[in-house]
Amino acid sequence: MALDASTGYAAPSTSNLQDLEASLPMFDIERVSLQFSISSDFVAAGVANNVLILALSTGRILRIDLDSPADIDDIDLPKRPSEIGIIRRLFLDPSASHLIITTTLAENYYLHTQSRIPKALSRLKGISIESISWNPSQPTASTREILIGASDGNIYEVYIEPSAEFYRREERYLKGVYKTSNGPVIGLWTDLIPGRADLRRVIVATPSTFLHFAGKIGRHGHEGSGSIFSKLFESETATVHDVSNVSAGAPSSLTVSPETQDNSPSDHTGSERIFAWLTSQGVLHGKLYLSPDTSELGGKVLADSKMLPRSQIPPSQTAGGRSRRSQDAVASMILSQWHILQLVEGRIVAVNRLDDTVVLDQVVLEPGQSALGLVADIKKDTYWLFTTQEIFEIVVTDESRDVWKIMLKAQQFESASQFAKTSSQKDAVATACGDYLVGKGQYLEAAAVYGRSTKPFEQVALTFIDKGEQDAFRKYLLTKLSMLKKSSVMQRVMVATWLVELYMAKLNTLDDTITTKAELSENMNTAESQDQLSTIRKEFQDFATKYKSDLDRKTVYEIISSHGREEELLYFATVVNDYNYVLAYWVQRERWQETLAVLKKQTDPEIFYKYSSVLMAHVPIELVEIMMRQSNLDARKLIPAFLNYNNTTKAPLKKNEAVRYLNFEINQHQSTDAAVHNTLISIYASHPTNDESALLSYLEGQSYAHEQNYDADFALRLCIQHKRVQSCVHIYSSMGQYVQAVDLALKYDEVELASNVADRSDTDPALRKKLWLAIAKKVISQSSGIKTAIEFLRRVDLLRIEDLIPFFPDFVIIDDFKEEICTALEDYSRKIDELKGEMDESEKTAAHIKTDIKALEQRYAIVEPGERCYVCGLPLLARQFFVFPCQHAFHSDCLAKKVVELAGIAKGKRIAELQMEVSKGVSVGSKREKAIKELDALVGSACVLCSEMAVKLIDEPFISATDDAEEWAL
């Protein structure tokens, strides 16, 4: 047995979904086809979380999961109806985890979703349950603390926890916490109050009384150890609402609206629910406000609630179309999100709770057919009607479709905008709201609303302009600009440009007010104008930053300039990264500090190249500091600025900023650009100072680094032009032109400088002597006496007195340098004696060599008969052999092979060639003898075991792979 599953259909596209929903009826009542047979009538029903519970008069309970209706749990009560009575009511918690069943004989049972066996609630035996308030936390393992309303007016708190133990009771505790004096408790509701975990709201409803409790609950050591609601009922006074003239036996109930779908299931404090209390006079409904201040909560809830009277329900129609009676009895009532659904004499009537309009009045039941009532699934937002034999589902489609109209009619524009779905609906709300606000004189608020509407731009603009509401007009344009599409380029440019004009006019107005110290209006003084000026300026800056892509630079420059707004002009140029404009602006006004402030933020090298000349002329120190922090500048492109600065400045070299930057490029950035180095040399050489130490230090630094990044010819011409003698001499020396260096130094009488060049020259002695002779000639020609020349001569070890005699005048008397001549002669005599001693020593050495040669001719070696070759180990006398003075002997061929192994490639190749010539008789006569002699010389030049060739064997092991290792054993 099963319920008929819903047939699937293709989902419409998103674009057509709203039109499709609008064309469907808001409420549609469908009969659910039962695919199972029942032997008796339904007596009670409940729906929660897509789980349907049906109770039959036979005591059976059907539990059906609507997501898979083919699976049905068929559960029987432990006892027959004749013993415990027929099931009267079912109470299913919102999560469908807990079910409490009560019978006509006040027998109560509990069934958990994971169980198929109902358990008797012994402590609740005899209590006729009329209502239950489930725990707002919606637990699944246990019910936790719940409230039960009885037909005798008592309210009990109970904690039910399923147990597998047979003798253990399901109820942990049961305690009476409150008693009404106005009949049965037909409705209970408990929810959490945000702010504190120990706050609760409890609503108690009887047929004639509505009670609202709010306050603190009690706490115990652990959960389930005792009542928590006793403290609330004992310490708090309820806010009460009574209805009079209650009809005896008239149906009465309390219901709460379903959970909103935009809130998560665990959120029990984030949304305000709606309550509805059915009485014989009508339906009292209102919002369950949430507030940590519980003292006024009940009064606010009841003060803002309203009554839907019975007279609002249309009467039933007779067969002839006439009203049968003025009022029909309401059998049942539930709440949807926006409507109150009532079962009236077999009809379902849906009334919009916002404006009390009837949106549905449809006959569902046949005459005489009885109904169990309406049931709502507050978690899944579904609605059901149960009879004794049938099930109807009330399908809701786009229930909130007309809410925006009702809100709009009630001038609740914010709420209307929230519920407007289509663009036309939102536009209608915005237009109506704007017109309303304009009528109230709230122009600023109207501007924001008009900006989101499609009301003609011209009408809105004229409205604000005619009324002189420039601030509102500016706000309208801002809103309109934010709503325009990116593709609407021209519209965006025009609106944004108009806004610039409005901002400038507003700023000028405020400036005029501050300047004249006049009041802008009756309630605004100068100080307030100053504050507003800052606010409007900040607003313009934000606007320019956000919409810079919608502004034409040239047009905006013209508008702002026409108003004389310097700060705004520069701010806009900065925002659009037009730093050339900003810098040109400050440079034209010779505002150097402002110029530098902008330049510090730049990284574009072209900007530095463009303004370097003028800034070097006025703020060189600061400019150089900024440029030294840049890493992407090409110093070559800054040279014109440096040269222009150098031509105009009178600063000493130590304070010359061009020199400082060029040195920074050379020393820190390791620049090798010849133009940079030549520029530095040019500045050094052309400076009016006579001190050339800075230039010379640079040149020496280049030499020490073994570099020459400058053009030597260019540097030489400059140094000669500006008579930088030391620098010229250094350059000549670095070029190896020592003669020119000495000549130039002597030309300017720089004898000491010339001497330094001659001393450090690394040329041959002949050149050094030549240099010193030139220096000596200059010294002798300048000397006032012969002694000065003689003193100079003593400094040089290459010159002799005879070298200097030609340079002396003819009238010089020899007595003037007699001592020097004697000293020179003595030196010559001493050197002759040394040479004679060396010759004697050489003669003795030659005699020793002759003696050794004669001894070699008589040298011999004795070879014993058993002597063996040191290479192959065979008898030595078996073939030709060599014997060395060290007594090592080798066969000629063995020695040759060994020599080839140890000798180099060239020597080994030559030995092989000679061996080939001798063995094959290629050579004859003297040639053969010559080849044999050369071969013997190559092979027998040294012993392979104790000569230098033996060193090459140091990395070879003593024992080879072919040797017997035992022979080496100790």
Secondary structure (H, E, C), 543-572: HHHHCHHHCCHHHHHHHHHHCCCHHHHHHH
Measure the CA–CA gap between 905 and 99, rounded to whole angstroms.
108
Residue located via tokens 């190249």: 609
Lowest mean pLDDT among 38-52, 194-208, 712-726: 712-726
Residue 923 has pLDDT above 70, yes or no: no
First to last CA, the chain: 107
Backbone torsions φ then ψ of 578, nearest 5 degrees: -95, 70
Residue 573 has pLDDT above 60, yes or no: yes
Residue 792: its pLDDT value, please? 64
Measure the CA–CA gap between 891 and 895, rounded to whole angstroms.
6
Measure the CA–CA gap between 139 and 112, rounded to whole angstroms.
12
Exposure string over 200-227, b if 16+ CB within 10 A, otherwise e? bbbbbbbbbbbbbbbbbbeeeeeeeebb
Residue 5: its pLDDT value, please? 38
* pLDDT one-digit tens code per residue, 464-504: 888 888 888 888 899 888 888 889 899 999 999 999 999 89
Helix and strand element counts for the chain (H, E):
33, 30
Most confident segment among 153-162, 444-453, 824-833: 153-162
Residue 910: its pLDDT value, please? 82
Backbone torsions φ then ψ of 199, nearest 5 degrees: -105, 140
Tokens representing 232 are: 């609330």
Q: Give SS3 for 222.
A: coil
DSSP 638: G
CB neighbours (10 Å) of residue 262?
A: 8
Radius of gyration from C-alpha coordinates of the chain: 59
Q: Of the candidates 216, 134, 148, 150, which has an alpha carbon nearest to the alpha carbon of residue 183?
A: 150
Instruction: Report how far apart, in Å, the C-alpha atoms of 898 and of each of 453, 872, 885, 907 are.
Output: 110, 11, 18, 12
Measure the CA–CA gap between 181 and 242, rounded to whole angstroms.
12
Reported residue count of the chain is: 970
Which is higher by pLDDT, 664 or 968? 664
Residue 150: its pLDDT value, please? 96
| Structure confidence at residue 851 as a pLDDT band (50, 70, 90) | confident
Distance of CA 136 to the CA centre of its chain: 41
Residue 267: its pLDDT value, please? 39
Rounded average pLDDT over 380-388: 93
Q: Give SS3 for 191.
A: strand
Q: Of the candidates 152, 94, 99, 96, which has an alpha carbon nearest to the alpha carbon of residue 127?
A: 152
Rounded average pLDDT over 327-338: 86
Lowest mean pLDDT among 50-54, 254-258, 317-321: 317-321
Tokens representing 472 are: 């509102």
Rounded average pLDDT over 370-393: 93
Q: Give SS3 for 23.
A: helix
The kind and range of the H/E element at 392 are strand 391-396
Residue 884 falls in which region: left (phi positive, over 0), alpha (psi -120 to 50) or beta: beta
Q: Mean pLDDT of all residues in the chain?
A: 82
Which is higher by pLDDT, 262 or 270? 262
* pLDDT one-digit tens code per residue, 649-690: 888 888 888 888 888 988 888 888 888 888 888 888 888 888
Measure the CA–CA gap between 453 and 496, rounded to whole angstroms.
18
Helix axis angle for 566-575 and 553-562, nearest 10°, is 170
| Structure confidence at residue 291 as a pLDDT band (50, 70, 90) | confident
Residue 243 has pLDDT above 50, yes or no: yes
Q: Domain residue spans in the chain? A: 876-961
**How large a percentage of the chain has pLDDT more than 70?**
85
Residue 369: its pLDDT value, please? 87
Residue 255 has pLDDT above 70, yes or no: yes
Which is higher by pLDDT, 276 or 565? 276
Residue 555: its pLDDT value, please? 93
Tokens representing 655 are: 């304070």
| Structure confidence at residue 913 as a pLDDT band (50, 70, 90) | confident
Q: Give SS3 for 212.
A: strand
The kind and range of the H/E element at 359 are strand 358-363
Amino acid code (one letter) for 793: L
Rounded average pLDDT over 123-147: 91
Q: What angle do CA 940, 941, 943 make, to 5 degrees?
A: 75
Q: Are 334 and 324 in contact (CB under 8 A)?
A: no
Q: Are 656 and 649 in contact (CB under 8 A)?
A: yes
| Structure confidence at residue 45 as a pLDDT band (50, 70, 90) | very high
* Sequence-separated contacts (24+) of 469-475 with Cβ below 8 Å: 469/443, 470/502, 470/505, 470/506, 471/443, 471/444, 471/506, 472/443, 472/444, 472/446, 472/447, 473/447, 473/502, 474/447, 474/499, 474/502, 474/503, 474/506, 475/444, 475/447, 475/448, 475/451
Which is higher by pLDDT, 494 or 914? 494
Residue 814 has pLDDT above 60, yes or no: no
Q: Are 639 and 658 in contact (CB under 8 A)?
A: no
Instruction: Report how far apart, in Å, the C-alpha atoms of 631 and of each of 634, 709, 848 are.
Output: 9, 21, 77
Amino acid code (one letter) for 345: E
Q: Are 420 and 428 in contact (CB under 8 A)?
A: yes
Provide the Cα torsion 461, 462, 463, 469; round to 10°: 70
Measure the CA–CA gap between 348 and 336, rounded to whole angstroms.
13
Residue 174: its pLDDT value, please? 93
Tokens representing 62 are: 């059907």
Distance of CA 313 to the CA centre of its chain: 61
DSSP states along 676-692: HHHHHHHHHHHSS-S--
Exposure string over 765-780, b if 16+ CB within 10 A, otherwise e? eeebbbbbbbbbebbb
Residue 598 has pLDDT above 80, yes or no: yes
Q: What angle do CA 532, 538, 539 make, to 5 degrees?
A: 85
Lowest mean pLDDT among 5-9, 862-866, 933-937: 5-9
Backbone torsions φ then ψ of 554, nearest 5 degrees: -60, -45
Residue 883 has pLDDT above 80, yes or no: yes
Q: Give the CA count within 13 Å in the CB-facing half-sphere of 260.
A: 12
Residue located via tokens 């609002």: 312
Provide CB contacts within 8 A for 775, sequence distance 6+. Answer: 742, 746, 751, 754, 755, 758, 792
| Structure confidence at residue 958 as a pLDDT band (50, 70, 90) | low
* pLDDT one-digit tens code per residue, 207-236: 999 999 999 998 765 677 788 999 999 999
Q: Are 621 and 594 in contact (CB under 8 A)?
A: no
Rounded average pLDDT over 350-378: 91
Measure the CA–CA gap between 749 and 756, rounded to whole angstroms.
13
Residue 938 has pLDDT above 90, yes or no: no
CB neighbours (10 Å) of residue 672?
A: 10
Q: What angle do CA 719, 723, 724 make, to 5 degrees?
A: 55
| Structure confidence at residue 88 as a pLDDT band (50, 70, 90) | very high
Backbone torsions φ then ψ of 350, nearest 5 degrees: -110, 125
Measure the CA–CA gap between 358 and 324, rounded to whole angstroms.
18
Lowest mean pLDDT among 2-11, 111-120, 636-645, 787-796: 2-11
